[in-house]
Amino acid sequence: MKKALALVLALVMTLSLCACGQKETTPDNTPSTTGDGTTTVADANKDADIYSWIVNDDTSISGTVRFYIPFKGTQGMDAMIADFNAIYPNITVELNTYSNNAEGNVGLNTAIMAGECDVVSSFEIHNVMNRVNNGMYLDITDRVASEGISLIDNWGTEAYNKDGRTYVLPNGGFSYFVAINKDAWDAAGLGELPDEWTWDEYIAASRAMTEYNADGSVSVYGGSNYSVIADLTNIIYQVNGCNRFYNADGTCAFDTDYLKANIQKFIDAENEGVWYPLESYRTDNYKEWFAYAEGKINSGVSGNVNRFLADTENYPQDHITAYAPYPVVEKGQTNYMSGVNYFSFTGMTMGCKDEEAAWAFVKFFSTYGSKYLTAAGHQSTWAGTDPAEIVSVIFGSEENAAKIIDIDSFKKWVGNASNPSSYDNINTAYSELNSIFSEYVMYAYTGDMTLDEAMAEATELGNQAIKDA
């Protein structure tokens, strides 16, 4: 029965993509190859069963699923729900959105406690664990075990579990990469796109791609490093693979030599005038992405620029965007920032009324349906997701995408869940540490404090926040 359903599911997915003007996908659950002949993520898991458990034998399950996700709009969710309903026509999914801020999360928690939600997607591990610790997510350990679901084979890690128990399944995260104006790259004579490079090499490339006016002022910055200031700590992810705010003993990691050394490189790149100034967009997390799409910078470390590139009406492109991996500190390091980090998780809530319907939805959304998160700038973390489908979801089709991006480098460095991934398994005073770092690193950028002073004070405040939590 499940084999037959798998074929039905594959056909539904193919038809839904075609209806959107997208390229057909492989019409079964076998590993496929991309246009350049390389194997997809699914092939890396060919010996693992990451498919048969997704669709229930009984597709006549009925009920209503009140689904909550922290989006400002539908952003791909309508298409995802339509695919789900093609398999489960008797399950009604009611889509609700909330803001992923303090007020929005408090409001959602109130709704959960009132029994108004069935399935909730939470962004950021500290929000997940807060809900787990307060009993808001149902324990799904037995369901996962009885269906033989391997968290490692499907999503790469069990790190987000709590005391060996499972409450949520991963959905998506962010794929961090360097977006590059390929015309500017070629004009600078920089050669082949890198498969590995250091921060020093990226800054040197930014220097080569910086353009100047006749009076010597910068007309187009060569590079930039991401817009959310706290994400400068991603350098710790890159080295360790986990816990960008914490040392192994749970203390604050801000006063770390390799973190400070690289932040200093970033400050120097800005002072030299080859990186877009952080001060310009510190109050608007999207400004850098706009700056790249508008041609104000020729490259940028990002995790979310692609949805702006796809908006050709507001951001018409006269060049091809190519992609390179997140830089490493030293050559030869395992690049834990080259894959998709773990950011969004979905589970059944304590107020869930139709548990079987909700469970069917959670499984679908965490697997086949997770590719639609790319419409909101996220990426699927499921090992069965084909990067070619990510291209189609964002850009409509590979034909459309080829007018905007270099598809081969996109498939290699964006949405490829087979690359090493970063995650958090410590979340004590997470929000407080985020705010402290964001405040104090700006003191260093603006020259109000030296970097050593800023990080020493931030560490002291961070450790106090951890102690008080």
What's residue 4's pLDDT?
Answer: 37
What's residue 450's pLDDT?
Answer: 97
Give me the residue label for tokens 């490259």.
299
The answer for residues whose C-beta is within 8 angstroms of residue 359's C-beta and 6 or more apart is 140, 143, 348
What CATH number matches the domain at 177-338+424-468, 2.60.40.420, 3.40.50.2300, 3.10.450.50, 3.40.190.10?
3.40.190.10
| Neighbouring C-beta atoms of residue 114, cutoff 10 Å | 9
Secondary element (H or E) of residue 203 = helix 199-209
Strand boundaries in 268-316, DSSP class E? 299-302
Distance CA 93, CA 364 (A): 12
Distance CA 237, CA 336 (A): 6
Q: Which region, left, alpha or beta, applies to residue 348 given φ > 0 means left and ψ of -120 to 50 means alpha?
A: beta
Distance CA 83, CA 79 (A): 6
- Domain 2-174+341-385 identical in fold to domain 177-338+424-468: yes
What's residue 195's pLDDT?
Answer: 94
| Neighbouring C-beta atoms of residue 205, cutoff 10 Å | 26
Query: What is the residue-wise DSSP string for 73-91?
Result: S-TTHHHHHHHHHHH-TTE
List the structure tokens of 34: 């991309």
What's residue 230's pLDDT?
Answer: 87
Give me the residue label for tokens 């796109």.
193
Let me know: does 292 contact 306? Beta carbons within 8 Å.
no
Phi/psi for 89 (5° steps) reads -70, -15
Distance CA 191, CA 386 (A): 28
Range 2-174+341-385 has CATH code 3.40.190.10: yes
| Neighbouring C-beta atoms of residue 232, cutoff 10 Å | 21
What's residue 18's pLDDT?
Answer: 34
* Ordered mean pLDDT values, 10 residues apiece, the chain (469 residues): 39 34 29 30 50 94 97 89 97 95 92 96 90 96 95 86 93 91 98 96 98 96 85 90 93 95 95 85 55 89 87 90 95 89 93 96 97 89 90 92 95 84 88 94 92 98 97
The answer for residues whose C-beta is within 8 angstroms of residue 467's C-beta and 6 or more apart is none
The dihedral over CA atoms of 238, 241, 245, 249, expressed in degrees to the nearest 10, equals: -130
Let me know: does 166 contact 141? Beta carbons within 8 Å.
yes
The structural domains of the chain, with segments of one domain joined by +, span: 2-174+341-385, 177-338+424-468
For the entire predicted model, the pTM comes to 0.83
